[in-house]
Amino acid sequence: MPQDDQFRYYENYLWFNQFFGDLRQLLTSIHSALKNELSYKILNRGWYYEKSNHQPSLPPYWMTGISETGFALQSFVVLDPSILEAQPAFDNELSLVFVKHAQKDKPLWINEYGLKVLRNDQITQRYDDERYISGELLNGEEKIPYHAFQVPLHIFTTGGDAQRAIQDEVIFVLREMPGWE
């Protein structure tokens, strides 16, 4: 491999690893704020991203799910904005999308819960509040309540205070969401 190509490859490799490291740090900071500000216990946390078996590629999203008493919270890092094209409540941009649903034992059930909201697929949807959407996930005869909201990724990267953005754009919204009986 020519020296210039090797250098470019290595620079890209470092950039992508730094990017995903920064995303992990952001989500870990959000989880710390959830623990400190909202008293989440974060009993169970898992990380997931879609893996292609056909060719190496960046995943369309990266997700972490946590389980709490009475609900699960799925936090999506949307890397391919086209995944949001069918969802009128969200802008098609690199962002974090948080989906809180009433199935506390299923924080990593992505296709059955969070992705349905992102793709506006088999859900009901209403705007109870200007900061988030609410509705029900339709799983056969079962209807699972959810709330969801989007935070553009640039809010954390444009030189502002990331901790302040976490408080204002994530913690505040989660604090305002109602629970379920």
pLDDT higher than threshold 80 for residue 45 = no
The number of domains in the chain is 1
pLDDT higher than threshold 70 for residue 76 = yes
pLDDT higher than threshold 60 for residue 181 = no
Query: Rounded to 5 degrees, what are φ and ψ at 125?
Result: -150, 135
CA distances from 110 to 35, 115, 151 (A): 23, 6, 19
In a domain, 40, yes or no: yes
In a domain, 148, yes or no: yes
What pLDDT sits at residue 174? 94
Range of the domain at 160: 3-176
Q: In 128-137, which positions are buried (b, 16+ CB within 10 angstroms) versus exposed (e)?
A: eeeebbbbbb
> Mean pLDDT lowest for which of 4-18, 42-56, 81-95, 114-128?
42-56
In a domain, 52, yes or no: yes
Question: Cα separation of 167 and 77, whole Å?
Answer: 18
